[in-house]
Amino acid sequence: MDGQKRNYLAGTPSGALERRSAIISLGPLEVLVRITHSGVCGTDAHDRTANCGLGHEGVGLVERIGSEVTAVHVGQRVGCSFQTHSCGCCPECITGYRHYCHRSVGQKYGAEEHGTFCDYAVRHQDYVNPIPDALESKHAAPLVCAGITVYEALLAANTQSRDRVGVFGLGGLGHLAVMYAKAMGCAVSVFSGSAAKEEDAKKLGADEFHVVNKMKKAPAVHNVNVLILCGGDITDIGLFIPLLARRGRIVPVVIQTKPLKIPYMEFILPGHQLISSLGATRENEQEALRFAARHNLQPWTQEFPMTEAGLTSAFAALDDGSIRYRAVLSKELGNEFSV
C-alpha cells in the first residue's frame, strides 16, 4: 500500500462511478477493482459497530492498474479478501504464512482499510486473486474467504482421501467444509444441533449426519480423523473427544473470544492434536479457487441487491438464521449504493 488513507465505501450515486474511478489515485503496485458481488459474512454482522469498512468477500473487475502491476490485467475478474498487506520480510511472510504476520492488516485492523460493500476497492496486486472462468461471481464471493478458510483448515490437518472428516456446525463455513472434504475423496460426517439440516447435509455430500447437543457429550462414533469446528461459541473440547479416532486432529475455524477448556489426559493419551488455522497462504488461496472450479463446487447462496436496502435485508436474514447458507450482495440485482 502507498500509505494513503482511503475510504471508498457505499455512497456513490448512480451515474457517478466513472468520475469516481477517474479521480482515485493508485500507487505503482495497486489495483482498482470495480466490485460486482460481495459475500456477507457473520463477521460483518459482528463488526457493524467496529468503525471499520465492512465486507471481505469481494469479487469484481480490474478497472485500472498501477504503473508496475504485473500480476493482473485490466478487465480481469479478481477476488478481494480480508487481508490487505503485511510486512513482507518476517519469517511468516517469507515462508508464505503472511496472514500470521505481526503487521498483517485486514478489513478491521487498520485505518487505511476499507471493505467490499462498495463500488470500488483498492488493493495491492499481491492481495487480489484471479477468479477462474468456471466460477460464477455469486459463487466465487463466499469462496474468497469462507471457502479459502475451510480449505486451508483441511490442509493444516494434513487431510488425506482415506480420512473421515467431521464437520461440526452446518452453516456458512460448515457447508463449504463438507463440499471441499467430499471433493478431496474423504468420507464426511456432519454434526449439527438441528435435525432439520439432515436433508441439506446429505445433498451436500455428507455420508453421515448426527444431532449433537452442545451441552452434552457428542455421540461416541470414534471414527473421525479430522474434525473441523464451524459452529459458534465452542468452549469445551472435551465434548468432541468421543467423535475422534485415535490421533484425531481438531481444527477450530470460528471467531470467538471465549477460552477453550481441554481435558488433559483424555486429550493427550490418544495422541489428539488441536490445530490453529485462520486465513490461508497466498498459494492456498488461489488453489482453493482453482480446486472449486475443477470440482464444480457451488456454495448455496441467497442473493440480495447491492443497495442499502439489500444489505439491511441480508443482515436481518443473518441475524434470524434464515440464510441457507451464504448471503451475497449483487450489482446484478440492483444499482450501486446510493445516498
As a three-state string, the secondary structure of 233-281 is: CCCEHHHHHHHEEEEEEEEECCCCCCCCECCHHHHHCCCCEECCCCCCC
The neighbouring-strand residues paired with 38 are 58, 329
pLDDT in tens, 227-279: 999 987 888 999 999 999 999 999 999 888 889 999 999 999 999 999 999 88
* pLDDT computed for residue 334 by the predictor: 65
Q: What are the pLDDT digits (tens) for 195-231?
A: 999 999 999 999 999 998 755 667 788 899 999 999 8
Share of the chain above pLDDT 90, in %: 70
Count of residues for the chain? Answer: 339
pLDDT surpassing 90 at residue 108: no
Measured CA to CA, the distance from residue 173 to residue 238 in angstroms comes to 22
For residues 92 and 89, what is the distance between their CA atoms, to the nearest angstrom? 8
Q: How far apart are the first and last CA of the chain?
A: 28
Confirm if 150 and 186 have CB atoms less than 8 A apart.
Answer: no
Cβ-based neighbours of 299, under 8 Å, separated by 6 or more: 139, 142, 143, 146, 147, 175, 176, 179, 325, 326
Confidence of residue 159 (pLDDT cuts 50, 70, 90): very high
Q: Is 20 exposed, middle or buried, given 0-12, 13-18 or 19+ CB atoms closer than 10 A? A: middle
Q: Can you tell me the mean pLDDT for 278-288?
A: 94
**d(C-alpha 289, C-alpha 292), whole Å:** 5
SS3 5: coil
Higher pLDDT, 216 or 100: 100
Residue-range domains of the chain with CATH: 17-143+280-330 (3.90.180.10), 158-274 (3.40.50.720)
Which of 2-11, 20-29, 105-114, 308-317 ranks highest by mean pLDDT?
308-317
Instruction: Return the higher-pLDDT residue of 16 and 137.
Output: 137
Alpha carbon 22 to chain centroid distance?
31
Q: How far apart are CA 164 and CA 69, in angstroms?
A: 43
Our CA angle for 116, 82, 12, nearest 5°, is 15
The pLDDT assigned to 135 comes to: 98
CA distance 323 to 329: 13
Q: At what angle do helices 172-183 and 148-156 cross, to 10 degrees?
A: 50
SS3 65: strand
Question: Mean pLDDT across the chain, nearest whole number?
Answer: 88
pLDDT digits (tens, 9 = 90+) for 39-72: 998 888 777 777 677 899 999 999 999 999 999 9
Q: Is the pLDDT of residue 9 over 50?
A: no
Q: What is the pTM of this model?
A: 0.89
Average pLDDT over residues 134-155: 97
